[in-house]
Amino acid sequence: MSTVLQTASGFTFEYENLFGEGKVTAAEIAAIEAKIAKAHRAIEHMRATGEVQGHLSKDGAPEKVLFTQLPYIAGGHLNSPDSIARLKTFGASLQNRVDTVVSFGIGGSYLGNKVLFDVHCGEFWNSQTAEERGGWPKLYFSGNNLDPRRTGELLAQLQREARLKSHHQSGSPYRVCLVVISKSGSTIETTATFMVLYDALKQSGLPLEVEVVAVTDPADGAQETVLHRLARTHGWPMFSVPDGVGGRFSIFAEVGLVTAACIGMDIEAFLAGARAMDEACRTPDLYRNPALLNATLKYLAAENHGRRLEVFMPYADYLKSVSEWYIQLLAESLGKRSDRQGNLVYYGRTPIVAVGTTDMHAQTQQHQDGAKDKVVQFLRIADWGASLIVPDVFPDEAAVAKFSGLPMAAALEVARESNAEALAADGRFSAVFVLPSLNAFHLGELLYLLALSVAYEGELAQVDAFDQPGVEAYKRIMGPKLSELKRSLTSTGE
């Protein structure tokens, strides 16, 4: 039986080191055939109606789940022709006008946006000239931690850039756009850092212009959030954090697409990739449905073989942020105390970030010789385009001359293959996702596959993949503690 599943686009799931004798077997899959079919029917029902068995919002009210609608741009959808046009108009308004965008968000509002930035822009975007960036602004992230040092240094960097522009362009104002992403507007990390930078930039005395864009709950009237009210009061443009789309799925909504618009990324291609993957996953045939197969194999690896950790290991520096995004997706979706019947199950795999080849020198010792409790999910790029060739710089030094003539991309794949073979030889489980190339379309395919996989696995495990009750526990403790801190500072006059 083939252990390679390839979609029409060339996206490939290779699972020979996860399926077969000594791994997840065909007999194990056959034993839960009815459960797999039920899971597929449940997700088809969710696609058609938004309904998920037993799913409630954090307020205890029934809530639809709508992320599977997002790849489809259509009138009446969360992503409509009008909403996409508005995003693109917003992006065009920044090009050749705004110097820098600062994106404030946490959770999916940061992690998903960082993925889009890393893949489209790379590490050195902010060091390029405006011409080299095609007139698109620099982009910095904040609001994902309460770190006072980094927040202060970001402020200092923006002020430094404003002074430099004023010096070199005869007092021309430095323009900063602050994009604040929060459904409620009261998330402390996002709100606090935004207020610090907003106030400091406005009061800087520099030739500096500040504009704000809010991405928040679209509800008006009695349901209006604080961020919506601030935006309405101050006349800030607004985009939506839609109902029915949890933060970890919101990369396909305006939450993520607003960053794509800021950097000139191809929004339609990204959503087309997600749509292509969704269409590939409509079949009930397990061995032709990449998301259902991925979910089934990981579920059985955990339940029957004790593989309760998942190392997500792309062989690409700029895909590390995909691993970090996946951490939230897997942890919040599947890390659940109870199943739908109220039974204590303590379900879920612990996700681990790794990057090849970097972490072959840091983590592979544990992967290879530690407890057999992991699935290593590799991710590789098939075609890097033009690859750098290692030159023969020191021909008299045999220890380094042996590397000369090697294409870096090919050597990277040899390293990954060697890692996979070593793990497999010792009964360690792994699988590979292969992107034909690294672009917006194939990125959309990958991220959507992962999102749909956790939806399927939630059905297999009978846990709600769309709530996050555990997150509320620390919030209930933190709120009163912050109030007490403020009272104590007020009483001491600090």
Cross-strand pairs, 172:
none
Cross-strand pairs, 375:
310, 429
Half-sphere exposure in the Cβ direction for 246 (13 Å, CA): 24
Cα 366 off chain centre by: 26
Q: Which token pair is 493?
A: 């006059």
Q: Measured at the alpha carbon of residue 299, what is the angle toward residues 289 and 291, in degrees to the nearest 5? A: 20
Residues near 241 by beta carbon (within 8 Å), at least 6 away in sequence = 109, 181, 182, 183, 215, 216, 217, 218, 250, 253, 254, 255
**Rounded Cα–Cα distance for residues 119 and 61 (Å):** 37
| Catalytic position from the list 63, 332, 445, 459 | 332
Mutual angle of helices 33-49 and 440-461, in 10-degree steps: 120
| Catalytic position from the list 21, 168, 234, 361 | 361
| Catalytic position from the list 402, 475, 481, 486 | 475
Tell me phi and psi for residue 367, to 5 degrees: -60, -40
Residues near 354 by beta carbon (within 8 Å), at least 6 away in sequence = 311, 312, 313, 323, 363, 376
**Rounded Cα–Cα distance for residues 63 and 61 (Å):** 6
CB-based burial, 296-329: b 16+ in 10 Å, e otherwise: bbbbbbbbebebbbbbbbbbbebbbbbbbbbbbb
Tell me whether residue 332 is one of the annotated catalytic residues.
yes
Tell me whether residue 183 is one of the annotated catalytic residues.
no
54: DSSP letter: T
**Rounded Cα–Cα distance for residues 253 and 241 (Å):** 8
Q: Is the peptide bond before 357 cis (omega within 30 degrees of 0)?
A: yes
3-class state of residue 289 by DSSP = coil
Give the H or E element holding residue 101.
Answer: strand 100-104
**Rounded Cα–Cα distance for residues 475 and 396 (Å):** 63
Pick from 37, 69, 66, 12: nearest CA to 278:
69
**Rounded Cα–Cα distance for residues 336 and 461 (Å):** 10
Tell me whether residue 475 is one of the annotated catalytic residues.
yes
3-class state of residue 89 by DSSP = helix
Residues near 49 by beta carbon (within 8 Å), at least 6 away in sequence = 64
**Rounded Cα–Cα distance for residues 310 and 374 (Å):** 6
Active-site annotation, residues: 332, 361, 475
